[in-house]
Amino acid sequence: MSSWRRWVEPWYLAYGLLGATMAGLLPILIPLTVSHIHGAAQVGFVVAALSLGGLLAPVWGALADRYRLHRWLLAGGLLLTTLGLLAFSATTVPAIWLGLALLQGIGAAGAATVANLFVVEAHPRLEWDERIGWLQTFYGGGQVGGLFLAGVLGQAHPRLGLLAAAGLTAVAILPGWFKTRTPPGPLAPKPVLLHPVRNGEWAIASPQRLFHHVSWKTVQQLEALLRPPFRMFLIAWFLTFAGAAGVFSLYPVLMERLYGIPPRLSSWGFGVAAGLGLALYSPAGRWSTHFGAPQVLRAALGIRLLAFLGLLALGLTSPGRHGWLALLAFLFIVLAWSLLSVSGTTLAAHLSSIGEGEGLGLFNATTALGGVIGAALGGWTAERWGYASAVGLAVAGVTCGLILAGMIGQPILTCKATDAQVYSGKTP
């Protein structure tokens, strides 16, 4: 058996199709669909509602653990997302759109949050690294494929694209139900997996992000957790993520109306950037080890700041022109995510004063909340002051985050256990 077939299971296809829908098609199709009838503010609110569903991941994780509902959550979540997409394509009422976007987010969260549970509860821990790596590869590959498909369908037929997204999600139910088996109850505490997220954080968090969420223990120990420099890091992360989310939530509409780039070209540009970004995760890990995670974080924020400044300058001085320069700047914004994901995950785990588990849970909650608030605020800002103001919001957020990140020192790493050996913040 070839090496990759040893680690890949047929149900990974379900998560690849989920990535194609939630991280590839919907980031393009939903803004285009809403903007044809309503303004930028409504676009931001709908995308925020989509992301808001991801905040319910702890509920689905708890249900899976307590009642062993893994297969039902996977298939049921995919079904909810399918129904939400079908209904979304058939209405133009803003309030209904918000509810349906929330339904899609809830369904995707229910499906995605059990992804890692199918790995860590059914296989020996020595296999987790390889299996989770391939799981994320399927999701990231699905994202890239979905972006290219959105480029074909988005500009002229966004509603047809939504129906295609519903079809892909419906097809995902088949391997999700027939090729999975609910694993027996875990014999050990739920593990803490330090793998960074290997795809963009939009419009909903990846399976890896949704797996590890805030627990009641984290809430009880919040005061102890929120000590400098961890507090400084979370504030910096929230500001930078929220600022960027304002641009990503409007991406195809903003690129067309501010830089004259048609949705087809902007979708393909996003797909190329996301594909290239997949190759940067391994180097980013080596750089974090060699130079230190804070240095890599600051470098990534610096790259994003320069790229957003370039977008802002183009939008203010040459609106509707130099689209190729805008795409080039956006390429660097996406590539910087690989560095941010690796260094951010490392810092969240090691700056926590209580344990990796609680630190990562709070880090993921900060990411999700930043995405929701940033999407809504970006849409409202663009509606009130124009699309360039959404880019200005990103510049402000990344600038503040970079200043705060400059105050974060290199954490002292006292644990040398591998990712697969870390349990609930403690090593065995």
- HEC secondary structure over the chain: CCHHHHHCCCCHHHHHHHHHHHHHHHHHHHHHHHHCCCCHHHHHHHHHHHHHHHHHHHHHHHHHHHHCCHHHHHHHHHHHHHHHHHHHCCCCCHHHHHHHHHHHHHHHHHHHCCHHHHHHCCCCHHHHHHHHHHHHHHHHHHHHHHHHHHHHHCCCCHHHHHHHHHHHHHHHHHHHHHCCCCCCCCCCCCECCCCCCCCCCCCCCCHHHHHCCCCHHHHHCHHHHCCCCHHHHHHHHHHHHHHHHHHHCCHHHHHHHHHCCCHHHHHHHHHHHHHHHHCCHHHHHHHHHHHCHHHHHHHHHHHHHHHHHHHHHHHHHCCCCCHHHHHHHHHHHHHHHHHHHHHHHHHHHHHCCCCHHHHHHHHHHHHHHHHHHHHHHHHHHHHHHCHHHHHHHHHHHHHHHHHHHCCCCCCCCCCCCCHHHCECCECC
pLDDT above 80 (res 349): yes
Q: Do domains 1-187 and 220-410+419-428 have the same CATH topology?
A: yes
Q: Which of 141-155, 207-221, 244-258 has the lowest mean pLDDT?
A: 207-221
Tell me what percent of the residues of the chain surpass a pLDDT of 70.
Answer: 93
Determine the Cα–Cα distance for residues 359 and 278; give it in Å rounded to an integer.
25
Q: What is the CATH number of domain 220-410+419-428?
A: 1.20.1250.20
pLDDT per residue as tens digits for the range 167-202: 999 999 999 999 998 888 765 666 777 788 888 876
* Mean of all residue pLDDT scores within the chain: 88
Cβ atoms within 10 A of the Cβ of 181, count?
10
Q: Are 41 and 378 in contact (CB under 8 A)?
A: no
HSE of 67 in the Cβ direction (CA atoms, 13 Å)? 9
What number is the average pLDDT over the span 297-322?
Answer: 94
Domain ranges across the chain: 1-187, 220-410+419-428
Tell me, which fold does domain 1-187 have in CATH?
A: Growth Hormone; Chain: A; (1.20.1250)
**Confidence bin at 416 (pLDDT 50/70/90):** very low
Task: Identify whether 31 is preceded by a cis peptide bond (ω within 30 of 0).
Answer: no
pLDDT attached to residue 423: 37
**Confidence bin at 397 (pLDDT 50/70/90):** very high
The burial class, CB within 10 Å (0-12 / 13-18 / 19+), for 40 is buried
Q: Which of 66-75, 123-132, 412-421 has the lowest mean pLDDT?
A: 412-421
